[in-house]
Amino acid sequence: MKFVLPSHVYAINHYICQYPANLADMSLDHVTLDSQCFLKDNQGYLTLTFDARENMLYYFGNHTKTISRIPMELGGKGMVLTGGTSVVNGMALDWVAGNLYWTETDKGIIKVSTKTGAFQRVLIKDLINPFGIVVHPGRG
């Protein structure tokens, strides 16, 4: 599999896949999940976020209840950052401060850690089904 940049990266059930941002660059011959996907390990992926500075993809595996990251390069290996989470439906990266934020929908919380998974804490609690999350690094 060849990584094409820029590209659209998406999660579809047990796969994380990509296709070129310019569809004219994409060959339509033999388009399959096998040709587009680079993670295929039965984790039930729900949410993704990307660090463009480090070319690092962050993802949540629903079956393993883990947040991990993987470099977007051939042969890149995934690394688990945190485990024991509940259902994560939203994730966002503050690329200025280097913090990762995520929602845990069934617990009604938003958590934060460094992008390495260190110093985790609950940022906001008592929410009703928090789903998506966006951060604005310019506003803190």
Number of domains in the chain: 1
For residue 6, whether the previous peptide bond is cis, meaning omega lies within 30 degrees of 0, is yes
pLDDT value, residue 17: 81
Range of the domain at 87: 7-139
pLDDT value, residue 44: 85
Q: What string of DSSP letters covers 42-82?
A: S--EEEEEEETTTTEEEEEETTTTEEEEEESSTT---EEEE
CATH number of the domain encompassing residue 50? 2.120.10.30
1 located within any domain: no
Q: What is the pLDDT along the chain (140 residues), one digit of tens a residue?
A: 556 667 788 888 888 888 777 777 666 676 666 777 778 787 888 899 999 889 899 999 988 999 999 998 877 888 999 988 899 999 999 999 999 999 999 999 999 999 999 999 999 999 999 999 999 988 86
Contacts with 55 (C-beta within 8 Å, 6 or more apart), sequence order: 71, 72, 73
